[in-house]
Amino acid sequence: MSHTAASLREQFPLLAAAPELHYLDSAATAQIHSAALDAVIKHETTSRANVMRGTYRLAEAADLAYDRARQSAARFLNAGSADEIVFTSGATASLNLVAHAFGSTLNAGDRVLISVAEHHSNFVPWQMLRDRCGIELALIPVDADGRLDLARLAELMGGRCCLVAVTQCSNVTGAWTDVAAIVAAARKAGARVLLDGAQAVQHGPQDVRAMDIDFYAFSGHKCFGPGGVGVLWGRADALAQMPPFLGGGGMIAGVTPEKSTWAAAPQRFEAGTPPIAQAVGLAAALDWMMTLDWAAIREREAALCRRLIEGLVGIPGLRLLGPQQGQRAPIVSFDIPGLHPHDICQVLDSQNLALRGGHHCAQPLLTALGAETCTRASIALYNDEADIEALLAGLDRALRELA
Ligand code: PLP
């Protein structure tokens, strides 16, 4: 079924209540869909109880809702089994989980390969692991457009490379990673592959089996679901190999005063009370996403992105960061030397334009691109031409006011 941006926008309560708002910061947090919000309220008012602990009917209803949420996430990712879905508090928690749990199976001198384009949440945990355990941390460089430069990939995967952990899509440049090339090289080197899907999931369901990867991380708040919940998908054999990250209730097979043994995945990785209502809300968002015509949506997002780039290249002094051609997500960042993005964003805000300015938690990438900070517009399925034209007019005004 094809939807107009206006009909989609109506389904987002915050946007429906604020027709004047041009929300262009969905890469930071996408707005929540009404189905997700309704599911959270329904769960909290009809099925609220802890999970995997109670035997009364209300607790069984909560168990069922939580299990169904796992199944929805598995369908969204085309996972082999719902047991491969670990609910976390978000992509950052998912990435830290792998860095700790998979990381604890590595030895000093084993190599983890990441890229210069990573969000700090897929950078810092690996630096911490390197400092704790003496692994080697190697970096795939980026080209002038911020795309991963894979020319030396085979060499970078040399040594004892055990894991390649890269972003599927940059949160600064919108550049998509050539996942097939990474996976082919990793398989040759005998390394596992982790994809940070935080920026990919709001542009449609994913297929972890077709991509032939081992781990996939994302956050609910970036794909029209609630905050405070995310997913780590792990191939069954990869999860089975990993010890737990956090200890506590729900993740054990048994505990004696001397020692504990672990439950199987996914429970092994879900210590304590999980984000139950948030997972239920996320599942409703994912179920809704799976009903949409993504080819049509992506075409519309790409057309808006092209129009925005076309308008921006005409602004004197403005420098676009990232690829202007080819396959890219609708995330557009730019730098105007002499103007701080926070000032630009403030003037834009006075015109009801919500954009983010700063280093976008990607300082190594910005440094590689020769910028300290930048202003970012990110487009989602509820944006339309009016948002883009308002941004271009707003920037014109910001430049005059700040000159
Ligand atoms: N990875 C990428 C590419 C991101 O853009 C973000 C957030 O912007 C994250 C990871 C971290 O997501 P969260 O803050 O939801 O954990």
> Please, which pLDDT band fits residue 2 given cuts at 50, 70 and 90?
low
Asked if 164 contacts 113 with a C-beta cutoff of 8 angstroms, the reply is yes
Task: Find all residues with CB under 8 Å of 283, minimum gap 6, and list them.
Answer: 39, 68, 69, 70, 71, 72, 73
* pLDDT tens figures, 344-386: 999 999 999 999 999 999 999 999 999 999 999 999 999 999 9
> Please, which pLDDT band fits residue 180 given cuts at 50, 70 and 90?
very high
What's the rounded mean pLDDT across residues 310-333?
93
- Which pair of structure tokens corresponds to residue 133? 């355990």
What's the rounded mean pLDDT across residues 389-400?
96
Task: Give nearest CA residue, ligand 1 atom 8.
Answer: 28
* pLDDT tens figures, 187-243: 999 999 999 999 999 999 999 999 999 999 999 999 999 999 999 999 999 999 999
Catalytic residue, chosen from 305, 345, 361, 374, is 361
- State what percent of residues in the chain have pLDDT above 90: 96
- Ligand 1 atom closest to the Cα of residue 118 is 3
- Ligand 1 atom closest to the Cα of residue 94 is 16
- Ligand 1 atom closest to the Cα of residue 360 is 8
- DSSP result, 98-123: HHHHTGGG--TT-EEEEETT--GGGT
Ligand 1 centroid to Cα of residue 90, in Å, is 8
- In whole angstroms, how far apart are CA 136 and each of 163, 188, 244? 11, 19, 22
Ligand 1 centroid to Cα of residue 2, in Å, is 29
What's the mean per-residue pLDDT of the chain?
A: 96
Ligand 1 centroid to Cα of residue 226, in Å, is 14
Task: Find all residues with CB under 8 Å of 118, minimum gap 6, and list them.
Answer: 165, 166, 167, 196, 362, 364, 365
Class of domain 37-289: alpha beta
Task: Give nearest CA residue, ligand 1 atom 6.
Answer: 198
- Ligand 1 atom closest to the Cα of residue 167 is 3
Ligand 1 centroid to Cα of residue 60, in Å, is 33
* pLDDT tens figures, 244-284: 999 999 999 999 999 999 999 999 999 999 999 999 999 99
pLDDT recorded at residue 53: 84
What's the rounded mean pLDDT across residues 324-349?
94
Is the torsion defined by CA of 170, 202, 10, 277 positive or negative? Answer: negative
> Please, which pLDDT band fits residue 41 given cuts at 50, 70 and 90?
very high
> Please, which pLDDT band fits residue 98 given cuts at 50, 70 and 90?
very high
pLDDT recorded at residue 3: 78
Query: Which residues approach ligand 1 with their CB closer than 6 A?
Result: 28, 90-92, 119, 121-122, 167, 171, 196, 198-199, 219
Residue 154 scores a pLDDT above 70: yes
Residue 1 scores a pLDDT above 60: no
pLDDT recorded at residue 238: 98
Ligand 1 centroid to Cα of residue 92, in Å, is 6
Q: Is 223 a catalytic residue?
A: no
Q: Is 195 helix (H, G, I), strand (E, B) or coil?
A: strand
Task: Find all residues with CB under 8 Å of 288, minimum gap 6, and list them.
Answer: 33, 35, 36, 224
> Among the CATH numbers 3.40.605.10, 3.90.1150.10, 3.30.1300.30, 3.40.710.10, which is that of 5-24+293-402?
3.90.1150.10
Ligand 1 centroid to Cα of residue 397, in Å, is 31
Task: Give nearest CA residue, ligand 1 atom 14.
Answer: 92
- Ligand 1 atom closest to the Cα of residue 221 is 15
The full set of domain ranges for the chain reads 5-24+293-402, 37-289
Tell me the best of 116, 119, 282 to mutate to test the pocket of ligand 1, counting ligand atoms within 8 Å of each CB and taking the most: 119
Task: Give nearest CA residue, ligand 1 atom 5.
Answer: 171
Asked if 103 contacts 133 with a C-beta cutoff of 8 angstroms, the reply is yes
Residue 91 scores a pLDDT above 70: yes
> For residues 34 and 16, what is the distance between their CA atoms, to the nearest angstrom?
10
